[in-house]
Amino acid sequence: MRVTSKGQVTIPVELREKAGILPETEVDFAYEGNGRIVLFRAKKPKGKTRGEKVIEHMRRFAKAHPLKLTTDQIMALTRGED
């Protein structure tokens, strides 16, 4: 395994799967001495994730929308049905 000029290393898929590291997973590093560096998943930040904030915003918008459309009506609109 080689470090790129940008300091990047590819983590083998087997190790990512065992550690539960998915795309966009935040990780941290620690130096243990003797040239040993350890990679681990970062602790989750307190508060809501970006996805949770987006869903919350969408729910507020849907409740405040003046048309109060049903799911079937929204799906018909997205399909271009009259």
Q: What is the pLDDT of residue 43?
A: 82
φ, ψ at 27 (rounded to 5°): -130, 160
* Grouped pLDDT means (10 residues each) for the chain, 82 residues: 93 92 90 93 80 86 73 86 74
What residue numbers bound the domain in which 12 lies?
7-45
CA 42 – CA 55 distance, rounded (Å):
23
Total domain count, the chain: 2
- Do residues 12 and 41 both lie within one domain? yes
Residue 1 lies in a domain: no
Q: Tell me, yes or no, if the pTM score tops 0.95.
A: no
Question: In 3-state terms, what secondary structure has residue 37?
Answer: strand
Residue 22 lies in a domain: yes
- Do residues 38 and 63 both lie within one domain? no
Closest CA to 17 of 5, 8, 25, 6: 25
Q: What is the pLDDT of residue 20?
A: 87
Residue 14 lies in a domain: yes
Question: In 3-state terms, what secondary structure has residue 15?
Answer: helix
- Do residues 16 and 29 both lie within one domain? yes
CA 20 – CA 11 distance, rounded (Å):
12
